[in-house]
Amino acid sequence: MSKTIFVCENCGEEFLMWSGRCENCGSWNTLKEISSKMTSRINEKRLSNVRPPEKLTDIKVEKFQRIKSSEQEFDRVLGGGLVLGSLVLLGGEPGIGKSTLLLQMAEKIAKSAKLFVLYVSGEESGQQLKMRAGRLEIKGENIFFLSETNVDNIIASASNLTIQMVIIDSIQTMYDENFPSTPGSIVQVRESAMRLQNFAKEKNIPVILVGHVTKEGSVAGPKTLEHLVDVVLYLEGERFQNLRILHGVKNRFGATEEVGVFEMSQKGLLGVKNPSKIFLESHIGAPGSAVTSLLSGTRSFLLEIQTLISKSVFGYPKRVVSGFDLRRLDLLLAVMEKRMQIPFNLYDVYVNTIGGMKIDDRAADLAVCASLYSIFQNKKIIGKTVFLGEVGLSGEIRPVAQLSKRIKEARALGFNNIIGPEYKTIDNALKKAMEEI
């Protein structure tokens, strides 16, 4: 028998009766009627084909088959390459370089692995893609292009050709005609992604989805896609700067929090083999500048942190950060005020991380404190110094994960003065790190 339900095209909530206003999200006139077929009794033939559950001890573990792109930075974030049958989501702000990166990776994979790649675009025409490929010096001999937004047509085209990889640019433009809602709505994004997920598993080919980031910072709605896909990647960075950071948020086949660094050039995005040199390229060691070693996934690299303070004109001092957690900064300022008697409540504080990196590593706490103390005292930090340590509320310096790996990266670049947990407290560590005038 058939059952009629009403689905909100804004939030995807289902209702048995129509109403003018969605009770879940509060939107008006968003409920659309959908008919679904339901069987009244279980089909015995279907029941006989149901796979029985297996014991966990009887399941054999096989290595994932991967497709490598020959681009070290891209493969590192994926955990060694694209896994066959996986669904990958690449998110980022419009204009950050997602389409450029994927077109380059499609060319590399088509060449190195000798595979046929289908590039599906709902936003660009074939001529536009050809012009971009020419600018990037991409021949695309094994790349097929399809300008389509209907998921059924995309799956049919990919099935008719001997395609080994599919790129969807972007998922917000795709739609499933079985659901009466506009492309880009949560219902269409979810259903289109599920259809493509089933296609990827059945054909055992990787499918990459491009998702634009909304104003709230989520991909295609409130993290609708992140729960469906196997891998979530974010391409971050300032639009008018050369550096781009490919950040792995979720990965069912490898380590999370991996980072790949790319540099934008006239020939597209080029992988940076040694990010530490790029981040420290213009480091001059001025007051307010400190260096730390960050750990991201399986790699570590050095990063410069800069701070600036100025007398507050108003009664409430400003706190401006770029690439660092504002609440963490407030905590560090409170610790330094209490333990070192520095009146930061009278100053506006500005913190910036070089290269557009976003710091989530607590090992950078001591470097931020050192940078603040340096600018307050107007003294330079002793040359070739790296700060490593988490700062506690009592002003103590706590150890951080994989300290030896961070120190190895620092010494490889000539930073032999390591200041960390062995100094016990921040006042003891910071005072010994300043140059005498």
Q: Report how far residue 387's alpha carbon sits from residue 368's, in angstroms, rounded to the nearest whole number.
A: 9
Amino acid 47: pLDDT = 53
Q: Report how far residue 179's alpha carbon sits from residue 30's, in angstroms, rounded to the nearest whole number.
A: 13
More confident residue, 186 or 109: 109
Backbone phi and psi for residue 320, each to the nearest 5 degrees, phi listed first: -120, 125
Q: What is the CATH number of domain 66-273?
A: 3.40.50.300
Q: Report how far residue 391's alpha carbon sits from residue 389's, in angstroms, rounded to the nearest whole number.
A: 6
How large is the average pLDDT for residues 378-391? 94
Return the minimum-mean-pLDDT range out of 298-302, 384-388, 403-407. 298-302
Q: Report how far residue 236's alpha carbon sits from residue 31's, in angstroms, rounded to the nearest whole number.
A: 35
Residue 352 clears pLDDT 80, i.e. is over it: yes
How large is the average pLDDT for residues 129-148? 91
**Closest listed residue to residue 69, CA positions, set 108, 117, 116, 114:** 108
**Closest listed residue to residue 373, CA positions, set 317, 299, 290, 315:** 290
pLDDT tier for residue 207 given thresholds of 50, 70 and 90: very high
Amino acid 437: pLDDT = 39
pLDDT digits (tens, 9 = 90+) for 329-351: 999 999 999 999 999 999 999 99
Residue 150's DSSP bridge partners are 175
For the chain, domain boundaries: 2-49, 66-273, 277-433
Amino acid 397: pLDDT = 96
Amino acid 216: pLDDT = 52
Helix/strand/coil percentages in the chain, nearest 5? 30, 30, 40
Residue 358 clears pLDDT 60, i.e. is over it: yes
Q: How confident is the prediction for the chain on average, in pLDDT?
A: 86
Residue 37's DSSP bridge partners are 2
pLDDT tier for residue 38 given thresholds of 50, 70 and 90: very low
pLDDT tier for residue 2 given thresholds of 50, 70 and 90: low
Question: What class has domain 277-433?
Answer: alpha beta
Residue 376 clears pLDDT 50, i.e. is over it: yes
**Closest listed residue to residue 388, CA positions, set 294, 299, 308, 324:** 294
Amino acid 197: pLDDT = 94
